[in-house]
């Protein structure tokens, strides 16, 4: 009986799509985006831990980025899919808080009386930058540091140079390849 209720709840939120979120308003869509980015940060942290534990090296060491990204894609396709209904359910709960934060920021912006719609757009933009960009990268950095503490592998290797790493690893090429693999895996999982 309990298992049936859990399954019904899970399936209810599994089927929720972006059109249903849109019906809740713009704030729900942005809230879902924030929660999705937190999911990315959590999966990146887990992937960082697994990659450093398996190799004894930071993913930022030459030759290690592919291993980290392939680990991340594996978690994203499997664990990320399992967690999705929880993200959707949490969106319904957290949207009022997101809306409150947007309203608080709107109150401080100079266009609140003269151009209220523009004021709201600017407030949403500020909140999005804070949570989706700063928050996501902050959580990933914190997660990589935590993984480093647990594994004894520093997240940033001594003498690390982002420019040299980018030239050697070509991270965007690797990410494009792995994104295509993830899309293919999702298609296979759906069938």
The tokens for 182 are: 């993830």
Q: Dihedral sign, CA of 172, 157, 71, 34?
A: negative
Looking at residue 145, what is its pLDDT? Answer: 94
- Average pLDDT over all residues of the chain: 84
The residue with greater pLDDT, 2 or 90, is 90
Its pTM stands at 0.77
The residue with greater pLDDT, 157 or 10, is 157
Per-residue model confidence as pLDDT tens digits over 31-56:
989 999 999 999 999 999 999 999 99
Looking at residue 178, what is its pLDDT? Answer: 67
Alpha-carbon gap, residue 40 to 139, rounded angstroms: 9
Mean pLDDT of 130-158: 93
The residue with greater pLDDT, 66 or 169, is 66
The number of angstroms, rounded, from the C-alpha of 131 to the middle of its chain's C-alpha atoms is 11
Looking at residue 9, what is its pLDDT? Answer: 63
Instruction: State the angle between helix axes of 171-190 and 162-169 in degrees (0 to 180), rounded to the nearest 10.
Output: 50
Per-residue model confidence as pLDDT tens digits over 95-111:
899 999 999 999 988 88
Confidence of residue 153 (pLDDT cuts 50, 70, 90): very high
Mean pLDDT of 81-87: 84
Looking at residue 174, what is its pLDDT? Answer: 64
Confidence of residue 16 (pLDDT cuts 50, 70, 90): low
Looking at residue 59, what is its pLDDT? Answer: 92
Looking at residue 138, what is its pLDDT? Answer: 94
Percent of the residues in the chain that have a pLDDT greater than 70, as a whole number: 83
- Which of 3-7, 34-38, 110-114 holds the top average pLDDT? 34-38
Alpha-carbon gap, residue 182 to 175, rounded angstroms: 10
């Amino acid at each position: 009986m309990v298992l049936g209720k859990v399954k019904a709840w899970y399936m209810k939120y599994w089927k929720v799509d972006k059109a249903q979120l849109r019906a809740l308003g713009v704030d729900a869509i942005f809230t879902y985006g924030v929660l999705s980015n937190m999911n990315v940060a959590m999966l990146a942290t887990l992937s960082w831990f697994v990659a450093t534990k398996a190799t004894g090296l930071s993913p930022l060491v030459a030759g290690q980025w592919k291993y980290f990204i392939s680990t991340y894609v594996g978690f994203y396709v499997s664990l990320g899919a399992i967690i999705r209904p929880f993200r959707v359910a949490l969106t319904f709960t957290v949207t009022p808080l997101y809306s409150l934060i947007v309203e608080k920021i709107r109150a401080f912006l100079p266009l609140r009386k003269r151009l209220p719609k523009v004021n709201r757009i600017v407030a949403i933009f500020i909140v999005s930058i804070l949570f989706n960009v700063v928050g996501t990268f902050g959580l990933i950095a914190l997660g990589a540091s935590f993984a480093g503490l647990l594994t004894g592998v520093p997240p940033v290797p001594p003498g690390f140079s982002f420019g040299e790493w980018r030239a050697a690893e070509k991270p965007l090429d690797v990410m494009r390849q792995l994104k295509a693999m993830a899309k293919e895996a999702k298609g296979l999982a759906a069938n």
